[in-house]
Structure 1
């Protein structure tokens, strides 16, 4: 059964234009890198709120906020350790803005992010806007730039089908209307590592998605990230398979069988590519787990997954 928390409504009179809510857990150094650019873009506006939600960190992100926030950033510790998804849902509860940017503390934005995303959403009925993103490593070295899913900024016509096959969204590169969160609910608590994928697909099922054909955000890949840890055991692929069964349920029934097979085929490619990368890095145990999960997905292809 879906475990989706409700996002409490905010009255129109209480809404600023922007809410930037930054969940953090033991990433104070990265937070110190991310905050200055957020402040540079929004600190001068009286219609924006910036909140750092701390999930029981031991590296004192409050001191970073005090040192860099200039009185413009609210530091809000969780009442208890909530974990990633619990903290994301608390971030949505804390937000009051018309536009919500959930910016993980180890990610970042590039100059022009907030103006570009606001401009893209203006005058449209899109529930969210997604931009292109730079993947970087722990030392800020460029790894990859996400591709264009359409030529130029505009409505992403096949976003729902694309999202049901794989997670095409980097978390720092999406801005969501809070009204959409209020309508569809928060992050599912029964998908602890694929709740973001589920969220983007639910959003695409609820209304149009705007694609912003500009590189405006930074997504950090580093060895201590949750994703990197799960690669070592193959859990990343196993939950991917579970999530495929969930997100395909947001499609019309006649499109589900073909889409789940496409999603499984992509999972085979994804796990196989990850196995190869792990082998090249000398991580033989992780490579073996990824290869086994690729084979398991391949065996599932003829029958697909029932939503």
Structure 2
């Protein structure tokens, strides 16, 4: 697993012996509005002093001089101001914020967001108590342009602490919002700056890279506010659909630095999640009578993922009475589009990868998790030691059990085995999750390609699904040669 790709800008370390504050609060700006004053005031209200905190606004060569005026008025000499001589773009300016940071810990706070009382003291306390901590984030509040609180981000854990499945969560969706995240500067030095080709998904890309190498600490108390307003860059990208195309691009980038056995299922979930997110945005845009923007969201969602679940959700969107406004635009879209972008999925769902030897198991997902993990671990060990292991794909039937939960369990088991036996990525078996969404016709396509079922002590078998499939005992599996 590569730590740093050559595409990511280098972050130079601070020279040894240089006096450094604990915090660097870096505010990237470009033609900021009056929101910047609120941002600075929220920092200064809990300022521990110049010895402990660097506060700096880094302006990306704005066409207006409002940033410097606000810094002088609100900062009164306490806040540093730097203006780039030429425009670097979002990614370049964010990366420059890291490079200019002198503190041991970096907090990138955007020009329209703010923090709540106790943000820095709470994280300082956690950092001092957890010396191995490298990245932490808290729950955040979403607010509108007037500062009214709208809703909370998802609650990732009821208790403060390291997230046991931090990487899995971040791979599927961006659970971390910039104003809520603090990162040790040495992490950026190790991984590099922000992806230079991204504008919307560059923060998600960074959090995925960080969480692939570091445990994430989560604080459930909301201590940061993320502002949603019509003039934001994010809002502009939503109206063209570029936000969704970038999210899918970020998923493709992620595949380059994660092992296939670990990432495939989660990245497929990520594609489906982002497509559903696009449909959700489309419905909100439709409610505001922004028809072209809604169509742009749907277009990019279908270009990025055409799984059975996504197509079903698309049909549900079209079935809503208010969606009749979309039909003329969508019809024109399909007429003018390259039809290869909108082909229906193949006979088997997207994400199922078969090999010469395809085996299936039917675990009982309702049994105690300890017993379930023990039994699944035994199956994986047998496959990893089988003479034909490189030709085996394992189909795991989940029935109505949530695939996201199943993926978390299987990924954890596999990672433990890899660490225990010091295995290489090439040793990983192909694992496919099969659930009740498969139609009878798809099962008819799949069954002839299954060489056998591995019998488990605790299982839930739909006899119709296993009809005609040879059954093998787990303890005798390595004696079976499935190929002539």
TM-score interval, smaller chain: over 0.9
Aligned residue in 1 for 2:300: 293
Output aligned runs, 1:1-307, within 5 Å.
3-10=7-14, 11=16, 13-42=18-47, 44=49, 46-57=51-62, 58-124=64-130, 125-299=132-306, 302-304=349-351
Query: 1:260 and 1:190 mapped to 2: Cα distance?
Result: 20
> Using the alignment, how far apart are the partners of 1:20 and 1:276 within structure 2?
37
> 8 Å contact 1:234–1:290 — kept in the other structure?
yes
Distance (Å, rounded) in 2 between the aligned partners of 1:228 and 1:278: 11
Deviations 1:120-150 (A, max 9, x none): 2223212210101111111112122112211
Aligned residues: 306
Secondary structure, in 3 states, of the residue corresponding to 2:35?
helix
- Relative to the length of structure 2, the TM-score reads 0.61
C-alpha RMSD of the superposition: 1.9
Tell me, yes or no, if the aligned pair for 1:131 and 1:216 is still in contact at 8 Å. Answer: yes
Stretch of structure 1 that moved more, 29-38 or 6-15: 6-15
Secondary structure (helix, strand or coil) at the match of 1:26 reads: coil
Within 2, Cα distance between the matches of 1:153 and 1:248?
30
Of the structure 1 ranges 68-77 and 285-294, higher mean CA displacement relative to structure 2 is found in 285-294
Greater Cα radius of gyration, structure 1 or 2: 2
Q: Retained in 2: the 8 A contact 1:3–1:190? A: no
Closer/same/farther in 2, CA of residues 305 and 70 from structure 1, 3 Å limit: farther
| Farther off after superposition, 136-145 or 105-114 | 136-145
| Structure 2 gaps, min length 5 | 309-348, 354-484
Q: Cα 1:305–1:251, aligned 2, differ >3 Å: closer, same or farther?
A: farther
Match of 1:273, SS state, is: helix
Is the CA contact 1:127–1:203 (under 8 Å) kept in the aligned structure 2?
A: no
Q: Name the SS of the counterpart of 1:50 in structure 2.
A: strand
> Are the equivalent residues in 2 in contact too, given 1:28–1:60 (CA < 8 A)?
yes
Structure 1 stretches lacking a partner, 5+ long: none
Query: For residues 304 and 29 of structure 1, do their structure 2 counterparts lie closer, same or farther at Cα, with a shift above 3 Å needed?
Result: farther
Contact 2:272 2:307 in 1 (8 A): no
What CA distance in whole angstroms lies between the structure 2 residues aligned with 1:163 and 1:122? 25
Q: How far apart are the structure 1 equivalents of 2:110 and 2:120?
A: 16
TM-score, structure 1 as length reference: 0.94
